[in-house]
Chains A and B, each alone.
Chain A
Amino acid sequence: MPKQHKILLLDDDEQLLELYQELLQQLPSQPEVRVCNSGARAIALLESEPFTLLITDLRMPKMDGLQVLAIVRRKYPYLRIIVLTGVLDEEYRSRAYALGVDMFWQKPSSTEEFTLFKDCIESLLDRDIAHETGFRGMQNKSLVDLIQLEALSQSSAVLLISQGGVSGKIWVEGGEIIDAAAATFTGEEAFKVILSWKGGNFEILPAEANRPRTIHKSAQGLLLDSAQALDEWRGQQAGAPAGSTTTILNLAPSNMSLAPLARFEGVEFLVTMPVDEKAGCESWGIENAHDVAEWARTAQKRLWQLGEKLGAGELTQVSGSGWQRHWALTADDKKGLLCAGFRRTLPTEKVEQTMKHIFAKWVS
């Protein structure tokens, strides 16, 4: 017996939801049609049960359709997605397709358009996406491949690449890489930082007109330089004695204050907070540094006070691990607080050891 398809309809217009629910339930495949009127509710429903197709509006309060798409496409690569909007805007269309939607439809306004729309839905439901290979979000392509494709097609776009809590951008104009930005780096250094990431997500955004050019090397030249630097680093890693503190690829300019600390193995981010709380924080490799700094200060203070009450001695280190990364927090009376994030694959003992080395270097 063929599996019954399940469609989720997302729109803030209740009347429209009722109308489309009734229409779609009449499709030959007789799908089950669920409705919701907010992005958050849609995401919750998608998490709780499997759906075949999501049909979403774009203009909605609080969480708009593009935000929903960005989340949903990443989490459910096999979910078919149709945008159904009353607004025909080329920028929205290209962004929606860049986010990996299957179709972009203006809301039908005649019987014929409704019939066409229903035919499209039916054909989309019939496709066995789970066994298709290729380019949905280009998940099976390396960053080098993506950049070469952009260069070959001589297109103009902005590649937004994200890895964990960090993201970077590469500006491409007429097939040439003209600029890059990642964390606190720009230009060629930022390009090399992004190339050193082993995995993540990407989006192709519309090109930005009048972006100043900071990279003058050809795409192939940049890729070759980065590949050479990565090979040299891998060679160093292979030859490093066991248990020693090794360095990551030296992609950080030497004048960045936290760059020397970021060279320790496995470091994904750093946040330092001086003793004076009003002085703000410094960071490397993380976007929400202020939120992390605020949390780190509060956590350190709370646990330190607890230790004082218990008579447990000095609070030497706080550390943790989650599905994304490890982290560690340690304090110095004069320098302040240091919080570091480490890649998830680094063993816990290595995290503690590396944090001690980083801390020693920071206070020296």
Chain B
Amino acid sequence: MGILKKKTPREPQRLPTGTFTVDAQGHVVSSTVPQAVPPEVVQEIGEAVVSVFQGARKANVAFSEMTAQYATFKITAREMRGGAIIFLTTKAPRISIS
């Protein structure tokens, strides 16, 4: 009988929380997001936010603040001289009862 290795369930990836700033290219300048969050995840959020701000400027709908609401997550960002300050918060999902 072989030794059975007990498989421990893998912890699902946590949603990042915290605040960080990015420059106009989406590169992270400063951050309070825990180091356990892969830096590429934070980078990707920053790049997505900056691209939304820049695209809006080109389309002549320029704005200074934006919020992206997901079922369990919220990204709030404020444009700052081409870059942005980004706030990440989690929220409990709404469960619909039918």
Contact = CB atoms under 8 A, between A and B. Distances in A.
Interface string A297-314: 011001100110111111
A329 to B, nearest CB: 9
Given A313-B72, A314-B71, A318-B68, A295 B58 contact: yes
Nearest to B66: A320
A176 B15 CA distance: 64
A299 B55 contact: yes
Interface string B54-98: 011011111111111111110100000000000000000100000
Size category of the A interface is 20 to 34
A90 B12 CA distance: 73
A86 to B, nearest CB: 34
Q: Is the interface of B mostly helix, strand, loop or mixed?
A: mixed
Contacts of B63: 320-322, 327
Given A310-B73, A312-B70, A291 B64 contact: no
A292 interface: yes
Given A303-B52, A306-B48, A310-B73, A288 B59 contact: yes
A313 B72 CA distance: 6
A294 B61 CA distance: 12
A341 to B, nearest CB: 8
Contacts of B69: 315-319
B13 interface: yes
B33 interface: no
B24 interface: no
A320 B56 CA distance: 10
A295 B64 CA distance: 16
Contact of B56 (A295, A306, A311, A312): A295
Q: Is the interface of A mostly helix, strand, loop or mixed?
A: mixed
Interface residues of B, number: 30
B60 A288 contact: yes
Contacts of B72: 312-313
Given A299-B52, A312-B72, A313-B71, A319 B66 contact: yes
Contact of A302 (B52, B60, B61): B52
Contacts of A320: 56, 63-67
Contacts of A294: 59
A307 B64 contact: no
Given A306-B48, A310-B41, A315 B64 contact: no
Interface string A146-183: 00000000000000000001000000000000000000
Most buried by B among A307, A314, A323: A307
B19 interface: no
B58 A311 contact: no
B44 A309 contact: yes
A322 B64 CA distance: 5
Most buried by A among B59, B60, B68: B68
Interface of A: 165, 288, 291-292, 294-295, 298-299, 302-303, 306-307, 309-323, 327, 341
Interface of B: 12-13, 15-16, 41, 44-45, 48, 51-52, 55-56, 58-73, 75, 93
The 8 closest A-B pairs by CB, nearest first: A313-B71, A322-B63, A312-B73, A320-B66, A295-B59, A312-B70, A320-B63, A291-B59
